[in-house]
Structure 1
Amino acid sequence: MSLIARLDKFPPVLCRLAARKNNGRRALTNEEIAKAAGLSKKCVDRLSVKATWSGVDVETASKFAAGCGVDLLHPRRQKDFLRRRKKSHFEDNPKYFARLTRILAESIKTRLKSGARQ
């Protein structure tokens, strides 16, 4: 499995959905992620809506994920949180998080279709 294929199991949009503060009670803003990651807000805005890490250099991916509080090589804790817990941090900006959720759903649907063709 290639590095990109492994990283795409937890794509940028999912990192952004997992980014939270105070044990899940409040979502991190893109500004807070940018500051924590050492990236520009514009870069965080662009990465937040990407369905794949393709075209993102490893250093930027690592910084973005760390700013979101995600360990890309071991994202089990964040996956479990998103799968099992109430996502109260989505209530901070429901339209934005609904958009991210749609992007993720479309990405999953596309991957499933391409996997079925192989």
Structure 2
Amino acid sequence: MPSVPGPAPPPGLLSPLVPFALEFLTLRRLTASAFGTLMSLEPAIALLVGAVVLHRIPGPGPAQGTALVVTAGIGATRTGARPEPSPTPPPDHAPHPARADADCPARAPRGRRPA
């Protein structure tokens, strides 16, 4: 079994936390639509970093696939908004707040009990 140096596991285990924390900080500052659009661009950014830093030029298939994924992600973000839920009315059987004491014997003032 290969040996692993002592300080190597912590950076390897903590490295996913940095992007995750940055995404949460970004989400707090942006609208959901803008954040979704930026998340949709992640595959394109990864493709560009691979081309510039690693000098790995993608072929036409991977480039087209990335373009389709980004387009679908942006389209879903921009057009897939759910309508705002309407506030639900209170149930019909709930007592009126002003008459709550009159409807409940335990909460009625002393000397007065509901009939």
Q: TM-score, normalised by structure 1?
A: 0.23
- Pick 1 or 2: higher relative contact order, CA cutoff 8 A, min separation 6: 1
Between structures 1 and 2, the one with greater helix share: 1
| Structure number, greater radius of gyration | 2
